[in-house]
A and B are shown apart, each in its own frame.
Chain A
Amino acid sequence: MKASHLSEQLKDIQGMLGSGFGWLKTSRFWLLTIKAGREDDARAWLAGLVDKKLVVSAADVRESRKHPVDDAVAIAFSYLGLAKLGCDETAAHPFPSPFSSGMGCDLRALLLRDSPREWRWSDVESGAGGPVHVLVAEWRKRRSAAEMASAPEKSAELDPDPSVFDVIKVDNDPCAFQQKAGDDEERLYESFGFRDGLAQPVISELREERGAERRQVRLDAGILYEDRVVAPGEFILGYRNEYDELTYCPNVKRWPGDAAYTSGRFALNGTYLAVRQIEQDVDAFAKFEAVYGQAVCEKVMGRRRNGKPLSWQGDPDVSISDSEADAFRLRVDDANGFGCPKGAHIRRVNPRDTLGIDLQSSIKSVKLHRLLRRGRPYREEVANEKPRKGIFFIACNADLERQFEFIYQRWLRNPRFVCLLDADDPLVGKPAATRSFSMPGLASGEEVSLAAFTQTLGGGYFFLPGISALKFILGREGSSKAVGSEAVAARAP
């Protein structure tokens, strides 16, 4: 059997890998723990989402300009969730160790440098409660009050049955999409008021933009466009990655494909999601800004509030495209961190061209450690308190160890990152009593004291299966078969 061609498999890839559904302004995330003995009911409820065609594919996303997608759902499972639903890994092709051990385990707390944890939920058995088995992500078109009133069942149709699941709901922040001065349309802003969703990698054979739009995106980025183009195998299991190797595909028992080949295994067209619920202390950040000013806040983040790079030399009031805002390097323009400090949040999560011995090797090396972010800001109403805000962080990656865990351990939470002295990430670092942030400058840098701006409330690793594998998990085995390229090509219209 031959390895699969991505272009032939788009119908089997869940839509969230193809797009962040930027046009669907409302989102909700459900963290579900299947109650004992209710596995069949859980399968039936989840299968209902598939039957209603809410689980869209990458092919649907690609066609969304002609046939708009108004509602989209993605379903992912933790390792314990897969086991709960009867999917046991095979001895020859088991799931990777980070996924099977779970983000919530004590070992990973040490590896990810976030011990001790006070989490509300995780993907393993813990004091906080049962493990989350299923993650359901939902994106919907924003509906007016009148539309909501006329069809209330539309927003309730996804509500999971509390007799089947223990449910944690993470709701949308309705203020996340805003049109601020200089914006030509509504854009996504996270709770501290910074543009979000920029600096995304582009999957080389799964580009979201088509035709003229794609040409414009390329034009805006100029020669730096290729910096963000990453091989599909970095995010989708079963395809060539940046090493030009087929990404490892695990398999489960009873899966009908030929397990000797990647394209015949269960995990083909899937991905792993590293999920974290991060609460943002908006008041603490506002106080910090009142003391130090906006310029320092932007240094801490590593970007301007409107998304432009700190080194942006043009007119600050002129709107630029996301592609242009993301087209910059640091090695030559900002080697000392005078513009974007070396310890700034965005420089830690994506050091671009700074860490290798030369520019090309740096860019090549960074492409091995990229994440496709699909999270959204959330808002939690609390009785007699101000609503709590934060970000429901979701990162798609094909190799949890090389991508999410590496970034988290070696860059984001490394107190010695690029020779810094005991400096954690200024935004998602450990909430220690005394933390400081240094900003290189002339003659030497400045330091500011940081507060605890964020707190992680929970996290887990999930597997986002291909659509055939999803149907297999949910017991729609009639429709699940070996999804080699030939099989899927035969089903294609």
Chain B
Amino acid sequence: MLEMVRQQMICIIAPGWRGAVDFSDSGDMQSALNALFEDVAVVQFASIALLPARTDAEEQAPLLMLELAVEEGIDPKDMLYRLVHHPSGAMWSLFSSYWPGGGPPLVSARNGQLFDKLIGWLSLADGGFVGPRDRTARQIRKERDLLIWTRDEGRKLKAMYGDDRASFALALAQRAFQDPRFDWAMQPAPRSYWRGKGASISAKVGYGLVVFGLWLALVWLVGALPKGLFGAITWFVGASWPDVQSVVDVISRVSMWIVWASVRALLAFVALLFLGWLLLVALPALFAPWRRWVDSVRRELERPTETWSSFSTRVVGWIVGVPLLLAILACAVVFVFYPKPIMEGITALTARVPGWELALFGVLAIAALLCIGTFFSWINRRFEALSKWFFHPYEEDVTRAQQVHPSIDQCEALLASGTAHMISLTDIRSPNGWSAWWIRVSLRVVTFFGRVFFTEGRLGDAPGIHFGHWHIIEDGRRFLFCSNYDGNFGGYLDDFINGATIGTTLAWRWTTLRPRGSAAVGQPDIKTPRDFPPTRFVLFRGVKCELKFKSYARDSMLPHMYRFDACNATIEEIDLATGLRDALFGERNDRNDDFIMRAIET
């Protein structure tokens, strides 16, 4: 599942680039690459950029990056094969500088060598997010044509149908149905599993339960099969082998232990989820003091305010919150791996203390916590001036903030009317192996959530991402991020800060920016190192430090030299066109009729 996402976003990182290719509008390369990507028809976005070499690298020539965002289900090798062996020879023209002598005279041999090299330089995304581009470029184009046609028809029919919405929508649907150009739209819009049939919560829960059930069955079989087979053999032969019997018994016992530990782990997971829901969703919804307390904790973690309230949050959080959390987690671990003491403890406690006393104790503990929080909040409000004076926050200096290299500005300006694009190159913090491992784990988590849960084209609450992908390159030394998104860069980062804090912090917190030269004349360099903003408990703060984060992201950016976009459409346009297709060719009801009417008036 994750592999499918990773395969959609690939980069070819060619080291030691010494080519002299003209990527300008007037040059041949741009039109050749455009024609190539149009012709292979499965590339949605492509870009080329130069990555500056590390200062400690042996090879000081820049690296050439070719970024490809392709359609779902295309194997990267197949993709490269189609590109390299395309009759236009555009890929050879791009990379021919790696064969100073001109390469083999036979085209097939030449392409074979190029293919081998590109496979060696291929980097699958270590993690990524696909917004609305689970559709093919052809689907997006065809649905857009349908949208434009429907709008035009709507204008023509308006005088005839006036305010009769149902008749108007029916007429449009009939005309679309009768038009042979739209026969393809008879089928519901194809979507990937998690955005189609698997989009509902029940499907996701059911899928998880099935996987869990299969796991239990598999583990049970691992224990049961040897036991059964060995029993059958001993019965059939009429002899016994005590040594083998003991091994089989061990396998069987371990298998059953894993089965029950898995069941307990599921129970513990459900209990933790319930607890999280109770504390972070249900109680805040019911009780304002609890809501304020949770808000205060979150604010303290993300943006310390340095007030009495913040101070109390920190103190109580460290004294009560963190030990409580660790104790709960420890209990869960013990329950999974060695439940006996917990079960005995619970039995002894319930035998000694009646249930109402336990419940009362819990309520009193929560009330005491709320009182402490409320008391400090009251002090904070009552003595606002004193609080401001006492906790007057000291600031952190952020140098060279709000600076954008002209080459980056130029790239953004040229894409102001299309899908925006960014390339960010950072260094992975020492020790590289450790940091790279953490990044990989984090990215897999982000990718999983993006694939299964954030299926409405938003990563967290951050809208506008078409393809966003991360690559660990150069043997875990550097970290590359490419994104194709709607909007401008500043707004995009604001979306990350407000909508996808945890994922973005997780992805970038193990990186840093070391000094580096520019990859080419007129491209940005880094003279002064810059650190990723400080994080709290791995997940918090980080990108919430607006000035530091934006400066970090800006300084890490590189301009593209070439860019291909198969269909210039925003996420909202893509979703609207697909929705219109389903509304026109779906059943006639109020919802679909209204969707059609709203779509044609825009």
Binding site for B on A (CB under 8 A): 2-3, 5, 91-94, 96-98, 101, 107-108, 110-111, 113, 241, 243-246, 248, 260-262, 336, 342, 356-357, 361, 364-365, 368, 399, 401-402, 405-406, 409-410, 415-416, 418-421, 438-445, 447
**Could you list some 7 contacts between A and B, CB below 8 A?**
A97-B403, A107-B413, A243-B497, A245-B547, A361-B499, A365-B494, A402-B494
Q: Which residues of A contact B490 (CB under 8 A)?
A: 401-402, 405-406
Chain A contacts for B374, CB-based, 8 A = none
Determine whether the beta carbon of A113 is less than 8 Å from that of B417.
yes
**Contact across chains for A261 and B491 when beta carbons are under 8 A apart:** no
Partner of A248, one of B148, B401, B409, B576: B401
B410 A245 Cβ-Cβ under 8 A: no
Q: Say yes or no: A444-B413 contact (C-beta < 8 A), given A96-B403, A97-B402.
A: no
Query: A2 touching B394 by the CB < 8 A rule?
Result: yes
Residues of B within 8 A of A447 (CB): 155
Q: A3-B392, A406-B491 given as contacts; is B416 within 8 A of A444 (CB)?
A: no
- On whether the beta carbons of A244 and B413 are closer than 8 Å, the reply is no
Contact of A420 (CB < 8 Å), options: B394, B406, B602: B602
Decide if B164 touches A443 in the complex (CB within 8 Å). Answer: yes
Instruction: Indicate the size class of the contact surface on chain B.
Output: 35 or more
CB under 8 Å from chain A, chain B span 145-182: 148, 151, 154-155, 158, 161-165, 168-169
Task: Name the residue on A nearest B155 (C-beta).
Answer: A447
Q: Are A101 and B416 touching (Cβ within 8 A)? A: no
Residue of B nearest to A96 (CB): B402
Contact call B394/A107, Cβ cutoff below 8 A: no
Closest 8 CB pairs of A and B: A445-B601, A96-B402, A110-B413, A443-B165, A243-B546, A97-B404, A248-B401, A444-B597
Whether A443 lies near B409 (C-beta < 8 A) is no
Q: Do B461 and A357 touch (CB < 8 A)?
A: yes
> Of B303, B416, B491, which is within 8 A of A110 by CB?
B416
Contact of B546 among A113, A245, A365 (CB under 8 A): A245
* B523 close to A (CB within 8 Å): no
In whole angstroms, how far apart are the Cα atoms of A447 and B109 in the complex?
Answer: 60
Most buried by A among B400, B458, B572, B602: B602
Rounded to whole angstroms, the CA-CA distance of A469 and B305 in the bound complex is 29
B88 at the interface (CB under 8 A from A): no
**B398 touches A (CB below 8 Å):** yes
- B463 contact set on A, CB distance < 8 A: 357
Asked if B545 lies at the interface with its beta carbon under 8 angstroms from chain A, I say yes
Apart from the given pairs A405-B488, A442-B597, 11 other A-B contacts in the complex at a CB distance below 8 Å = A3-B392, A97-B404, A243-B303, A261-B395, A368-B494, A402-B490, A415-B417, A416-B570, A443-B165, A443-B597, A444-B154
- With a cutoff of 8 Å between Cβ atoms, the chain A residues found around residue B404 in the complex are 97-98, 401
Contact flag A244-B303 (CB < 8 Å), given A92-B400, A444-B158: yes
B392 cross-chain contacts in A, Cβ below 8 A: 2-3, 5
Across the interface, name the chain B residue whose C-beta is closest to A5. Answer: B388
Tell me whether A438 and B602 are in contact in the complex, defined as CB-CB below 8 angstroms, given that A96-B403, A97-B404, A443-B597 are known contacts.
yes
| A111 cross-chain contacts in B, Cβ below 8 A | 409, 412-413, 416, 488
Q: Is B414 an interface residue (CB 8 A)?
A: yes
B168 partner residues in chain A, CB cutoff 8 A: 443-444
Known contacts A93-B399, A93-B400, A410-B488; decide if A361 and B155 are in contact (CB<8 Å): no
Determine if B544 is an interface residue (Cβ-Cβ < 8 Å).
yes
Residues of B within 8 A of A401 (CB): 402, 404, 490
Which residue of A245, A399, A443 contacts B162 across the interface (Cβ within 8 Å)? A443
Considering only CB atoms, which chain A residue lies closest to B410 in the complex? A107
Contacting residues, chain A, for B399 (C-beta < 8 A):
92-93
B461:A361 contact, CB within 8 angstroms: yes
B395 touches A94 (CB 8 A): no
A131 to chain B, nearest CB (A): 18
The contact string, 1 if C-beta is below 8 Å from chain A, for chain B 411-443, is: 011101100000000000000000000000000
| Residue B525 interfacial (CB < 8 Å) | no
Cross-chain contact of A243 among B461, B544, B570 (Cβ < 8 A): B544
The residues of A that contact B547 with a CB separation of less than 8 Å are: 245-246, 248
B-side contacts of A410, CB under 8 Å? 487-488, 491
Q: A residues within 8 A CB of B445?
A: none
> Are B545 and A406 within 8 A (Cβ)?
no
Q: A415: nearest residue on chain B (CB-CB)?
A: B417
Q: Are B394 and A94 in contact (CB under 8 A)?
A: no
Partner of B602, one of A98, A368, A421: A421
**Contact assessment for A442 and B165 in the assembled complex, using a CB-CB cutoff below 8 Å:** yes
Contact pattern, B 552-581, Cβ under 8 Å of A = 1, otherwise 0: 000000000000000000101100100000
Do the beta carbons of A440 and B598 come within 8 Å of each other? yes
Contacts of B398 in A (CB 8 A): 248
Contact of A444 with B576 in the complex, beta carbons under 8 Å: no
Docked-complex contact A421 and B151, CB < 8 angstroms: yes
Cα–Cα distance between A111 and B404 once the two chains are bound (Å): 13
Shortest C-beta distance, B597 to chain A (Å), equals: 4
Complex Cα gap A245–B548 (Å) = 10
Interface centre among B388, B402, B463 (most CB of A within 10 A): B402
In the complex, which residues of chain B have a beta carbon less than 8 angstroms from the beta carbon of A405?
A: 488, 490
Which one of A336, A342, A409, A447 has the highest number of Cβ atoms from chain B below 10 Å of its Cβ? Answer: A409
